[in-house]
Amino acid sequence: SIEWEDAGMDRLHGAPESLAYIRALNAITPPDAAFDAAFSSE
């Protein structure tokens, strides 16, 4: 999800830049445990 806050930025420039950034984040490997498991007291 991309939140567009810069109304002055041209979409033809900002959208491809944002897409490249998001695609780079896909290289992050998700953790093995669920988020809520980190707070489990068991």
pLDDT tens, residue by residue, 3-17: 778 788 788 888 888
pLDDT digits 0-9 by tens, 14-40: 888 888 888 888 777 777 777 777 777
Q: How far, in Å, CA of 16 to CA of 18, rounded?
A: 5
pLDDT value at position 3? 75
Report whether 14 contacts 4 (CB < 8 A).
Answer: yes
Give the pLDDT band of residue 1 (cuts 50, 70, 90). low
Structure tokens at 42: 């068991």
Report whether 6 contacts 14 (CB < 8 A).
Answer: yes
